[in-house]
């Protein structure tokens, strides 16, 4: 049996660094695998911020209108001191112009424009005001979202180098799954999604060595990580330890924790395989403790725990040498344990977070202040 910390340390050594180029339209939520350096100034021309009249000097008050520039018109117009050019919002401002007088600030008489009110701003967005050329505008590891994608779009980049999303194959096991509902594949599927990885449900396998091997082989074909549930303890039909050692190697089996003790971790063809316990709350607890940080690391997204302090509503006994995880419901700063048994999904389904009772403790007392890892 391995301690929780040692198990986490082993898992922490894994990474996944495959990259690919994807279309910007497919990039939301992906992680940049390369810094993005601006190859141009944005805007790359002096651009009007208003509909108005571009002028050289504000002191003249009267200007002769000589031309009109709409957005997209890239002509290099020049103006003299006593002239003005009508410019639309977003249009290129003529060379030499220092101000755009908004249309509300002028009177127009034929071809003559008169400034009737003082303006406070230039109303010109200068070359490079938004993004300067040769700057590191986004960093490797940044996650593409609805805001920073605009920077990539502004620079005209259409193909982006990102880390490949790890594909995670999920297999549930147990002859009983034709009569009881398969819960674990759905909870694991959700944890995989929460970790920014791509879940693929391979199917449920019978408690049969050949069937288990054939489902695992199918997962190996398509996936980077494999997760099974059930069939990993000491029962007659618990074949996964044997299957994993036949096909690859067991790295650890049985963790000093409750619930979740039977968990196994191994490698087959250099791909990590997690065999989660069949009991639904054990499976989900192990998923929070081990899978979530593991998969997030592979996906290159940060893992962080939000922890709040709360008073415990009742004693929780635990066992020396075992880490205990107990789901709790939070209300007004009090943590109410919700655990009813490892095989009941409502032990954890309504909980707000988990408390951890370390290996060297044997009890948390009523009214103790405990750290609650809050689910997000
Ligand atoms: P096992 O570890 O295979 O002995 O399973 C332990 C318990 O979890 C048994 O009661 C199983 O019926 C149950 N179980 C196993 N896999 C699942 C699953 N995918 N969904 C719901 N319950 C399961
Ligand atoms: Mg089973």
Which ligand is in closest contact with the Cα of 262? 1
Q: Dihedral through CA 299, CA 302, CA 308, CA 312, nearest 10?
A: 30
Distance CA 46, CA 126 (A): 5
Residue among 278, 280, 282, 341 to mutate when testing ligand 1 (max atoms within 8 A of CB): 278
**Pocket residues: Cβ below 6 A from ligand 1:** 172, 174, 176-177, 180, 182-185, 229-233, 235, 277-280, 343
pLDDT tens for 249-296 read: 999 999 999 999 999 999 999 999 999 999 999 999 999 999 999 999
Q: pTM above 0.75?
A: yes
SS3 212: helix
Domain ranges of the chain: 4-17+164-298, 27-38+129-163, 47-125, 306-374
| Ligand 2 centroid distance, CA of 221 (Å) | 24
CATH topology of domain 4-17+164-298: Molybdenum Cofactor Biosythetic Enzyme; Chain A (3.40.980)
pLDDT, averaged across the chain: 97
Q: How confident is the model at residue 82 (pLDDT cuts 50, 70, 90)?
A: very high
CB 68 within 8 A of CB 23: no
For the cut 90, the answer to whether the pLDDT of residue 113 exceeds it is: yes
Residue ranges in the chain assigned as alpha helix (H): 4-11, 149-154, 184-194, 209-222, 240-247, 280-286, 292-299
Nearest alpha carbon to residue 46 among 96, 12, 2: 96
Q: Please, which residues have CB less than 5 A from ligand 2, an ion?
A: 174, 230-231, 278
Which residue has a Cα nearest atom 10 of ligand 1? 279
Question: Taking Cα atoms as reference points, which of 338, 354, 341, 240 lies closest to residue 290?
Answer: 354
Query: Rounded mean pLDDT of 174-202?
Result: 98
Q: Which of 215, 230, 232, 236 to mutate to test the pocket of ligand 1 (most atoms within 8 A of CB)?
A: 230
pLDDT for the residue numbered 61:
87
Over its C-alpha atoms, the chain yields an Rg (Å, rounded) of 31
Mean of pLDDT values over 9-35: 98
Helix pair 292-299, 4-11: axis angle to 10 deg: 20
What is the average per-residue pLDDT within 157-181? 98
Domain 306-374 is of which CATH architecture? Beta Barrel (2.40)
Banded model confidence at residue 132, pLDDT cuts 50, 70, 90: very high
**pLDDT at residue 73 is higher than 90:** yes
Which DSSP letter does residue 31 get?
B
Homologous superfamily of 47-125? Molybdopterin biosynthesis moea protein, domain 3. (2.170.190.11)
Residue 180 alpha carbon to ligand 1 centre in Å? 9
Q: What is the pLDDT of residues 317-348, one digit of tens each?
A: 999 999 999 999 999 999 999 999 999 999 99
**Which ligand sits nearest to residue 343's alpha carbon?**
1
Residues whose CB falls within 8 Å of the CB of residue 310, separated by 6 or more in sequence, listed in order: 328, 330, 333, 334, 335, 369, 370, 372
Counting ligands in written order, the one closest to the CA of 204 is 1
CATH number (3.20.20.120, 3.40.50.510, 3.30.2350.10, 3.90.105.10) of 27-38+129-163 reads 3.90.105.10
Phi, then psi, of 299 in degrees rounded to 5: -85, 0
Q: Whose CA is nearest to atom 6 of ligand 1?
A: 278
* Nearest ligand (C-alpha, residue 235): 1
At residue 99 the predicted structure's pLDDT band, cuts being 50, 70 and 90, is: very high
pLDDT higher than 90, residue 101:
yes
């Amino acid at each position: 049996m391995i301690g929780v910390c040692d198990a986490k340390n082993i898992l922490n050594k894994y990474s996944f660094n495959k990259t690919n180029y994807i279309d910007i339209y497919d990039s939301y939520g992906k992680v940049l695998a390369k810094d993005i350096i601006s190859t141009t100034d944005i805007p790359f021309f002096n651009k009007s911020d208003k509909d108005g009249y571009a002028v050289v000097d504000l002191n003249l008050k009267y200007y002769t209108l000589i031309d009109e520039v709409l957005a997209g018109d890239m002509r290099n117009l020049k103006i003299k001191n006593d002239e003005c050019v009508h410019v639309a919002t977003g249009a290129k401002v003529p060379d030499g112009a220092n101000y755009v007088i908004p249309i509300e600030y002028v009177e127009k008489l034929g071809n003559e424009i008169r400034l009737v009110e003082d303006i406070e701003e230039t109303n010109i967005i200068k070359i490079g005001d938004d993004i300067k050329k040769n700057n590191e505008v986004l960093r490797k590891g940044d996650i593409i979202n609805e805001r920073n994608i605009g920077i990539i779009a502004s620079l005209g980049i259409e193909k982006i180098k990102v880390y490949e999303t790890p594909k995670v194959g999920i297999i549930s096991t147990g002859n009983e799954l034709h009569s009881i509902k398969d819960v674990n594949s759905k909870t694991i599927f959700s944890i995989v999604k929460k970790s920014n990885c791509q879940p693929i449900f391979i199917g449920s396998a019978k408690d049969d060595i050949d069937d288990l091997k054939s489902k695992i082989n199918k997962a190996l074909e398509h996936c980077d990580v494999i997760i099974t549930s059930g069939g990993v303890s000491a029962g007659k039909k618990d074949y996964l330890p044997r299957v994993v050692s036949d096909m690859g190697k067991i790295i650890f089996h049985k963790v000093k924790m409750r619930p979740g003790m039977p968990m196994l971790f191994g490698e087959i063809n250099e791909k990590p395989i997690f065999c989660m316990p069949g009991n639904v709350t054990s499976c989900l607890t192990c998923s929070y403790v081990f899978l979530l940080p593991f998969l997030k690391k592979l996906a290159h997204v940060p893992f962080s725990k939000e922890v709040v302090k709360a008073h415990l509503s009742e004693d929780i006994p635990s066992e020396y040498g075992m880490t205990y995880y107990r789901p709790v419901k939070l209300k007004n700063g009090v943590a109410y344990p919700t655990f009813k048994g490892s095989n009941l999904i409502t032990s954890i389904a309504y909980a707000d977070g988990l408390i951890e009772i370390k290996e060297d403790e044997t009890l948390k007392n009523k009214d103790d202040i405990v750290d609650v890892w809050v689910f997000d």
